[in-house]
A and B are shown apart, each in its own frame.
Chain A
Amino acid sequence: MPATQTTAPPGPADKRISGDLIFRLVTTVFAFSILIILALMLAEMTSESLPAIRQFGRKFLTSSEWDAVQGNFGALPYLYGSVISSVLALALATPLSIGAAIFITEICPKKVGTWIAPLVELLAAIPSVIYGLWGVLVMAPWLQSTVQPFLIEHFGFLPFFQGAPYGVSMLAAVFILMIMVVPIITSITREVLLTVPLSQKEAAIALGATHWETIRMAVLPYGRSGILGAAILGLGRAVGETMAVTMVIGNSPQISLSLMSPAYTMPSVIANEFAEATSKLHSAALMEIGLILLLVTLVINALARLLIWSVTRSAGGGAA
């Protein structure tokens, strides 16, 4: 930096400049290596999936045939499974998380809040295989014996709740994903809500708003784009989640409206099949699924960061 060169005292100046220079170079290389790794990964995955891209073209996204023996590959069931399980999990997790964040920031005493907040973040650190293990050994049997029969009996007229109760199913995946994204959405929403200025709350209170009305009128609208960002970040996590989902979703490449039936997701099929993908086309097809997954999560994350940034950047947060 020119500033360091001009302010360096005479004498050991040369040494200092070269030290600075090396430091700058090293950190620059480190920083760029992250981008280079990402670029290399994208390039590598694209070239590896080229055989599948050439062979199937756009049909890869619309076909639901997956036959390693015949060499026919279509990703639709995996795409469907990923999208539906993530979106439904998000729909359940978002209200829950917003409620939890409101409780932590606005309702419970400050001391309790400072205890709960790190605990919630701790939940996000639990390895997903543990969620999966619990899901398959505890939750799935419970779904099979209690929840699914209840849903089928009382809501069976809806296409979403038809079929036999298997336990491992789309429903199980939705629940496990919901549990896994709640901590993330809660902790980010909490941070967003903490940025709401006191003057906004006071404005509502002085108008004669009750506590709940203050939250509805001043707090939530101010943080709305940040909360949306938090939800989208949760979506990114849900789309990419592999282990826990693989353990509870049943791994059956079918497209069924019913949440009772087993399904499959993009990460799950990669994890399950990479070892037995002996033909070039099979591994290329898996690579292409990976590429789609990577692009989807990149876009989702970029969108989320943009929204959160628009709130937390210092001036006039909620106006955006």
Chain B
Amino acid sequence: MNNIKVHLDNLNIHFGKTHAVKDISMDFPENSVTAIIGPSGCGKSTMLRSLNRMHDLVPSARVSGKVLLDSDDVYGRGIDPVAIRRRVGMVFQKPNPFPAMSIYDNVVAGYKLNSRMVRSEADEIVESCLKRVALWDEVKDRLKANAMTLSGGQQQRLCIARTIAVKPEVILMDEPASALDPISTLKIEELIEELKERYTIIIVTHNMQQAARVSDYTAFLYMGDLIECGETKKIFTTPEQKQTEDYITGRFG
């Protein structure tokens, strides 16, 4: 097992009176892909979004317990959520490029926030990020075109490029391929495989085959509880819990 990149310690998340994530403790190893699976409403997206403090936007959300990024307490006193989000990037379910910007500007949008943009450096970042998401050849002749002219799959890869341009350590993916066609999905999955060499990836997915294909580790959540987590191979072949087995064999959920 690699080093632990993200560590959860008794994580609890409430929305008002709803207890969405219950007392979860687990580890996410560095440079690997961890999939979080479970039926709809089981709290997997909620848990994912707590890792880069996206719940800060929701007034009724309450997070307790510990989230450690390396050894830094994500919810610790004096920790700037903005700094955390620069280390923990996120890709969403629906591709959400900035519609008022060109392809080029979308890629450097986050980079521009962090540092004074130097033109030559930005050019380099755009090229390398787009190459890494295998979009460069498709768009290199129209970098100034509006991002909305791309197809859905291309838009999602653009969003991944935009995320890695910020040089995060961890990338959270919230069902990144669920809005895409099978071929685009395949491309995203291949991309995830390559990205894990540099980043720690945590992916929420509805699709068990996808979890089995792309992940090294899998966590199964049900009704806000962590039922089981471990190596993907083991979870999908010899799960320890009956509930896990029922879910992955399609008996419920």
Contacts and interface: CB of A to CB of B under 8 A. Distances in A.
A80 to B, nearest CB: 36
A199 B92 contact: yes
Nearest to A221: B100
The A interface, classified by DSSP as helix, strand, loop or mixed, is helix
Interface string A176-207: 00000000000000000000010111111111
Interface in B67-110: 82-83, 85-86, 89-90, 92, 94, 96-101, 109-110
Contact of B99 (A109, A110, A208, A222): A222
Interface of A: 109-110, 197, 199-210, 213, 217-218, 221-222, 224, 316-319
Interface string B130-145: 0000000000000000
Residue among B82, B114, B146, B163 facing the most chain A CB atoms (10 A cut-off): B82
Nearest to A199: B96
B96 A202 contact: yes
4 A-B pairs with the lowest CB-CB distances in the bound complex, closest first: A207-B110, A208-B86, A221-B100, A206-B90
Contacts, number: 76
Nearest to A203: B96
Given A202-B92, A203-B159, A217-B109, A209 B99 contact: no
A201 B94 CA distance: 13
A205 B85 contact: yes
B89 A207 contact: yes
21 contacts: A109-B59, A199-B96, A202-B57, A202-B96, A204-B98, A204-B109, A205-B85, A206-B52, A206-B54, A206-B89, A208-B86, A208-B113, A209-B82, A209-B113, A218-B98, A221-B99, A221-B100, A221-B101, A222-B99, A317-B99, A318-B99
A218 B111 CA distance: 15
B100 A207 contact: no
Contacts of B83: 208
Contacts of A199: 92, 94, 96
B96 A207 contact: no
B96 A200 contact: yes
B148 interface: yes
Nearest to B97: A203
Contacts of B97: 203
